[in-house]
Amino acid sequence: MTTPNEQGSGARTTPIRILVAKPGLDGHDRGARVLVRAFRDAGFEVIYTGLFQTPEMIASAALDEDVDVVGLSILSGAHMALFPRIMAELKSRGVDDVLVVAGGTIPLEDIPEIERLGVDRVFGPGTRLDEIVGYIRERAPRRDALLPE
């Protein structure tokens, strides 16, 4: 499990920005929409990119939007094919300090390998929304100021 950058200090002054994406070819985004709503209600700014996203689409959106968190929802079973590519595309764009979390129908035995890739946490079916929100709130990176002191 990777530890996101925590060197930034102090309280968060602006909402957590999170990208919610559905990689791959399953056509069900009910779960993703429930999460979008839960994150919005938790005070996050949620960018929803919709269904059928390629790894390149997800990574370029994360780059331009400069999100703190990328949430991947996947039900197709193609996670072992897609997650390595998503992590590689993020890395190739220099997006190396986001918290990446995933959820959906992912067998338990795949989780250690996914976490080795740099996905911080995999939430299985039936996870409570407040558990996911609480986890993200605690773990989302706090960025150091970009501009000089």
Partner 1 sequence: MSEAHARIDTLVEQIAAGDRRLLARTASAIERVEPRVDELSDALYRAGGRGHVVGITGPPGAGKSTLVDALISEWRERDQRVAVLAIDPSSPLTGGATLGDRYRMMRHHADQGVFIRSMANRGLPGGLAPTTIDLVQLLDVAGFDIILVETVGVGQSETAIAALAETTVLVQVPGTGDGLQALKAGILELGDLLVVTKGDLPGARDLRGELRAMLALDPETGKRRPPVILTSARSGTGIVETVDGIAEHRAWLAVSGTGEQRRVTQGRSAILSMVGALVARRMGPGADDGLVLRVAARELSPREAARQIVDD
Residues of the shown chain interacting with partner 1 in the complex, contacts defined by CB under 8 A: 13-15, 17, 36-37, 39-50, 53, 56-57, 60-61, 63-66, 93-95, 143, 145-149
Residue type, 65: E
C-beta of 87 vs 106, nearer to partner 1 = 87
C-beta of 108 vs 145, nearer to partner 1 = 145
d(CA 71, CA 102): 6
What is the closest distance, in whole angstroms, from the C-beta atom of residue 107 to partner 1 in the complex?
Answer: 29
Residue 10 DSSP one-character state: S
C-beta of 97 vs 110, nearer to partner 1 = 97
10, 28, 86, 102 from 120: Cα distances, Å? 22, 23, 13, 8
d(CA 103, CA 106): 7
What is the closest distance, in whole angstroms, from the C-beta atom of residue 13 to partner 1 in the complex?
Answer: 6
C-beta of 15 vs 77, nearer to partner 1 = 15
Return the CA Rg of the chain: 14
What is the closest distance, in whole angstroms, from the C-beta atom of residue 112 to partner 1 in the complex?
Answer: 31
Backbone angles phi, psi at 19, to 5 degrees: -100, 125
What is the closest distance, in whole angstroms, from the C-beta atom of residue 133 to partner 1 in the complex?
Answer: 10
